[in-house]
Amino acid sequence: MMAEVKASAEDVHEIIDVCTSSERIMKDYALIRMGITYNDPQKDLDETIVRLQNELIELESHPVSKALHDEEVALHKEWDTIAKELKLPPSKELTLIIYQHIKDFAHHCETLAEHLATDTGNPAEHFIVLIARLNLDVQELAGLYVMKSWDAIIAEKYYAEVKEILKDFHEAYDELESSKSSMVSDKVKAKLKILQKHFMVFEFMAESKSGRYVPLLISKKADKIYAETLEILKLEQSEVEK
């Protein structure tokens, strides 16, 4: 009797990129709706959409168990709905709908990432997903902030969402910080500590109730943290996927 096919580290790498990319879409979409063209958010949005779609197709082509494949197909169907919404005539009401659908997609994506990580049989893959989760939270927070800058979300909902995202970030960071060195090395933890310090400024901006918003600045900071997290992921992968 043949052993059931297991998920690979490559599957985990691809799904976490899909998760994070989905939240980056919201940031660029909101910037475009505000009429901001600096750094060409339209180009970034178009490239991210193509990348996400291609990675979903690639992911589904890999041999995994039927249960995991079914999860991948279900996630892809959710994305297809979002892709259609992104092509509709823009409005603040539609932006809020897309935000909620992307939020649901990203969290379902994260659940699938954990399932794939567990299926690899390598316990360190869980911590790779956790590092990616930090990035996902940052990108979600940036999209939410730009939406508030555009006044596409009411203050009460905005601050409730911010609180939820910050809680998720700190929980993931604390678990990484307290993990065994065999799972997350001191070198990786040192880089995560620097990332966390950068996030503190980001956090302060998101929680501010001054009424003054600087969407371009938060976008730049989100891009910086995105790039930093990718480097940390590469280091973690090199140490635990030998």
Give the pLDDT band of residue 5 (cuts 50, 70, 90).
confident
Query: Looking at the domain assignment, is residue 41 inside a domain?
Result: yes
Domain enclosing residue 118, as ranges = 9-240
d(CA 139, CA 122): 27
Residue 226, in any domain of the structure: yes
**For residue 29, is pLDDT > 90?**
yes
pLDDT single digits (tens) 44-72? 999 999 999 999 999 999 999 999 999 99
Give the C-alpha separation, 156 to 175, whole Å.
Answer: 29
Which of 93, 96, 83, 114 shows the shortest CA–CA distance to 21? Answer: 83
In a domain, 3, yes or no: no
Inform me whether the pLDDT recorded for 147 exceeds 60.
yes
The answer to whether residue 199 is domain-embedded is yes
Structure tokens at 126: 């869980």
Judge whether 1 lies within some domain.
Answer: no
Q: Is residue 112 part of a domain?
A: yes
CB 105 within 8 A of CB 14: no
Residue 124 has pLDDT above 90, yes or no: yes
Residue 2 lies in a domain: no
CA angle 230, 228, 168 (to 5 degrees): 80
**Measured in Å, how far apart are the chain's first and last C-alpha atoms?**
29
Asked if the structure places residue 228 within a domain, the reply is: yes
Using the predicted structure, report yes or no on whether residue 2 has a pLDDT greater than 50. Answer: no
pLDDT band at 37 (very low <50, low <70, confident <90, very high): confident
| C-alpha pair distances (Å), 202 with each of 131, 141, 149, 182, 197 | 17, 9, 15, 30, 9
Rounded mean pLDDT, 10-16: 96
Q: How many CB atoms lie within 10 A of CB 46?
A: 12
pLDDT, mean over the chain: 94
pTM of the model: 0.94
Q: What tens digit of pLDDT does each residue of 85-117 get? A: 999 998 889 999 999 999 999 999 999 999 999
Stretch 195-206: mean pLDDT: 93
Tally of domains in the chain: 1
At residue 3, the pLDDT reads: 52
